[in-house]
């Protein structure tokens, strides 16, 4: 079985976000970049399937050369080889088109439910559409038995159980697998695993970035004494008008 895991390269969840160049570029100063946390679940599940069922795992990233340490980390966690499509990920459709161009022959295409920078949660469905494959997200469990894929998907206020056949695309989230931490052997072997850099297929982005902005600063918290909870009730009624 061949598994493709698509990973985004994003600021760590605790990063402070700010912008430079007149609000057109993320200030990456002091920001630590990681594998997208949901993509990390997808990768962990792929490595588990490799161990239990036997499979090859390829990771793919659409990004410039600064994403290579992130890709090497994925190799250290257990992927066998990697593809980097050498391009700025311009928009979801651009990324989906690049992924689709390399997805032929894979049985399972695993992604995260969403990238934590753009949070669109659409690349998997676009890839499915481009390839004519079913796609599912957010997938909380994924089991293979006799060619049937059994999945559970989170829906508003509940859970949906599904069955489908390979090949398919899935956007993953916890608790699909436990995140894996690379060990020393993984880190050593990652250095020599193949990482292929390819040019993007020509496709125009459909969305143009006009600029970024930050939310207005929050007003100061109003503290209320613990022995005067009636005041909170009053303020929620007359001041905040939320009850």
Partner 1 sequence: MMKSLVFVETAEGKVKKTSLEAVAYAHGLGGAVTVIALGTADAQALADVGKYGASKVLHASDAALNEPMVQLYTSVIEQAMRAEGTEVLVLANSSLGSPVAAKIAVRFNASLAANVVELPRPGAACIVKRSIYTGKAFANVELKNAIKVITLRKNAAEAHEVGNPVAVTPFAPSLANVDANVKITAVEKATGDILLPEAEIVVSGGRGMKGPEHWGLIEDLAKTLGAATGCSKPVSDMHWRPHHEHVGQTGVKVAPQLYLAVGISGAIQHLAGVNSSKCIVVINKDPEAPFFKAADYGIVGDAFDVLPKLNEAFRAAK
Ligand X SMILES: Cc1cc2nc3c(=O)[nH]c(=O)nc-3n(C[C@H](O)[C@H](O)[C@H](O)COP(=O)(O)OP(=O)(O)OC[C@H]3O[C@@H](n4cnc5c(N)ncnc54)[C@H](O)[C@@H]3O)c2cc1C
Sites for ligand AMP among residues 116-155 (CB under 6 A): 118-124
Hey, which residues between 28 and 87 contact partner 1 (CB under 8 A)?
A: 37-38
Nearer to ligand AMP, 124 or 153 (CB): 124
Contact partner, 186, from partner 1, ligand X, ligand AMP, none, Cβ < 5-8 Å per class:
none
Task: Supply 62's token pair.
Answer: 């659409």
CB atoms within 10 A of CB 20: 12
6 binds, among partner 1, ligand X, ligand AMP, none (CB under 5 to 8 A by kind): ligand AMP
Shortest CB 215 distance to partner 1, Å? 7
**Residue among 132 and 175 whose Cβ is closer to ligand X:** 175
Q: Within a 10 A sphere around the Cβ of 51, how many other Cβ atoms?
A: 10
Q: Which of 5, 6, 36, 37 binds ligand X (CB under 6 A)?
A: 37
Q: Does 129 bind partner 1 (CB under 8 A)?
A: yes
The dihedral built from the CA positions of residue 159, 160, 162 and 166, taken in this order, carries a sign that is: negative
Residues in contact with ligand X, counted by CB under 6 A, come to a total of 2
Name the token pair of 120.
Answer: 């669109």
Number of residues in contact with ligand AMP under rule CB under 6 A: 24
Q: Residue 32 — φ and ψ, nearest 5°?
A: -95, 130
Nearer to ligand X by Cβ, of 13 and 145: the residue is 13
Of 13 and 161, CB closest to ligand X = 13
DSSP classification of residue 66? G
Contact 212, 24 (CB under 8 A): yes
Least Å distance, CB 90 to ligand X, is: 26
- Between CA 93 and CA 71 the distance in angstroms is 22
> What secondary structure does DSSP assign to 93-154, as a single string?
HHHHHHHHHH-TT-SEEEEES--TTT----HHHHHHHHHT--EEEEEEEEEEETTEEEEEEE
Q: Which residues make up the interface to ligand AMP (CB under 6 A)?
A: 6-8, 36, 38-39, 60-63, 89, 92, 95, 111-112, 114-115, 118-124
Q: Which residues bind ligand X (CB under 6 A)?
A: 13, 37
């Amino acid at each position: 079985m061949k598994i493709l895991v698509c990973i985004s390269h994003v600021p760590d969840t605790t990063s402070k976000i700010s912008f430079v160049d007149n609000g057109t570029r993320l200030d990456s100063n002091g920001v630590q970049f990681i594998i997208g946390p949901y993509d990390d679940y997808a990768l962990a599940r792929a490595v588990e399937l490799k161990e239990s069922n036997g499979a090859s795992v390829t990771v793919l990233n659409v990004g410039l050369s600064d994403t290579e340490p992130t890709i090497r980390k994925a190799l250290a966690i257990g992927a066998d080889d990697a593809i980097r499509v050498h391009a700025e990920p311009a928009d979801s459709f651009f990324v989906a088109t690049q992924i689709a161009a390399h997805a032929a022959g894979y049985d399972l295409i695993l992604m995260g439910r969403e990238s934590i920078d753009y949070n669109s949660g659409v690349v998997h469905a676009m890839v499915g559409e481009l390839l004519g494959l079913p796609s599912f997200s957010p997938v909380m469990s994924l089991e293979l038995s006799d060619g049937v894929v059994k999945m559970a998907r989170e829906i508003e206020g509940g859970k949906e159980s599904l069955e489908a056949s390979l090949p398919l695309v899935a956007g993953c989230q916890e608790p699909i697998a436990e995140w894996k931490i690379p060990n020393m052997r993984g880190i050593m072997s990652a250095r020599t695993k193949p990482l292929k850099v390819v040019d993007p297929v020509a496709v125009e982005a459909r969305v143009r970035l006009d600029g970024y902005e930050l939310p207005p600063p929050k007003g100061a918290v109003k503290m209320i004494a613990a022995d005067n909870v009636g005041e909170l009730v009053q303020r929620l009624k007359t001041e905040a008008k939320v009850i």
